Amino acid sequence: FHLFRALFFFKMCPICKEPKNQTGGSEFFLLGLSDDPEVQPLLFGLFLSMYLVTMLGNLLMILAVMSDSHLHTPMYFFLSNLSLADISFSTITVPKMLVNLQTHSKSITYAGCLTQVTFIFLFGCLESLLLAVLAYDRLVAICQPLHYLVIMSPRLCGLLVLLSYFFSLLDSQLHYLMVSQLSFCADVEIPHFFCDPSQLFNLACSDTSINDILIYFIGAIFGGVPLSGILFSYYRIVSSILRIPSAGSKYKAFSTCGSHLSVVCLFYGTGLGVYLSSAVSSSPRRDAVASVMYAVVTPMLNPFIYSLRNRDIKRALWRM
């Protein structure tokens, strides 16, 4: 019976050249953003520059928070963890693409692909949860300013960050288990610059109907719950600010959460844009280009958004 099922499955699989079921020797090929040899040096220079700016900006943010005692507050503690998530998210995808562009090789091992999937969801979910935690921090700062330091105690801040890491790890392990159960064939070509799980589900030879249901369910929990928390926090913030009689006080209150709101719009806006473009467009390569926004551009811009209008960060960076 098992032999018959294996033979039937192999016959029905349209792209299988030889069956390979999650073995460490399986090799995938990342097709990247372009096949044009003249464009690839330009892509290498562009993405190397963006990666170095991402590393520099986020490392400076972390060092500024660590070195300046005036920045040892809950908000900057969360921001330093957000910068760490941005560094890690970029490091999972960009260096491999740079190596492939430089060596003119598109290969990535099965283990390397699984590693990318695991850490992409780990740090992507972590960023989403940290943005929700920052929204709660702004809610307490604006709605209950006199009790801010009592509510946002070091113990609560540490617990919130620890829970963010725990749930992110849980999310990444669930996606790892789903992808590791898929059966792939020889010469799997992924039209992306990293191992995008949605592309892996499309290229799998095994039935992915249950995985599709699970990935939407998990996405609704780990993506929808933080977003709902952010929306609820800003509903409370806006309601509280509108009750302030002074226009100057209203502007000052709005300015304290302007940077966070910009990062939230950038993070969720680019993610939603990529999702909608993939639903409308039938070109996987175009989807890969759109993914550059949330995978590379967003981690690069975050430290600049938080520091450009922040006098405390500017002062700490100047002292460094």
pLDDT digits (tens, 9 = 90+) for 60-113: 999 999 998 888 999 999 999 999 999 999 999 999 999 988 888 888 888 888
Whether residue 187 contacts residue 23, with contact meaning beta carbons closer than 8 Å, is answered with no
CB 94 within 8 A of CB 298: no
Per-residue confidence (pLDDT) for residue 111, from 0 to 100: 87
Does 6 map to a domain?
Answer: no
Answer yes or no: is 28 within a domain.
no
Taking the C-alpha atoms of residue 250 and residue 153, their distance in angstroms, rounded to an integer, is 26
Distance of alpha carbon 106 from alpha carbon 28, whole angstroms: 8
Is 12 contained in some domain? no
Q: Domain residues for 180?
A: 35-319
What is the predicted pLDDT for the residue at 309? 73
pLDDT for 6: 38
Number of compact structural domains in the chain: 1
Q: How far apart are CA 74 and CA 129, in angstroms?
A: 15
**Closest Cα partner for 73 from 163, 181, 151?**
151
In a domain, 56, yes or no: yes
pLDDT the model gives residue 286: 72
Residues of the chain with pLDDT under 70: 1-26, 186, 277-285
**Residue 117 belongs to a domain:** yes
CATH number at residue 265: 1.20.1070.10
CA dist 255 and 201 (Å) reads 43
Q: Strand 184-185 vs strand 107-109: parallel, antiparallel, or unpaired?
A: unpaired
Q: Which residues contact 39 (CB under 8 A, 6 or more apart)?
A: none
Question: Would you give the distance in Å from CA 80 to the centre of its chain?
Answer: 16
Its pTM stands at 0.86
Cα–Cα distance measured from residue 289 to residue 195, given in angstroms and rounded to the nearest whole number: 14
Helix (H/G/I), strand (E/B), else coil: 317: helix
13 lies in some domain: no
Rounded distance, CA 147 to CA 141, Å? 8
Q: Is residue 2 part of a domain?
A: no
Is residue 74 in some structural domain? Answer: yes
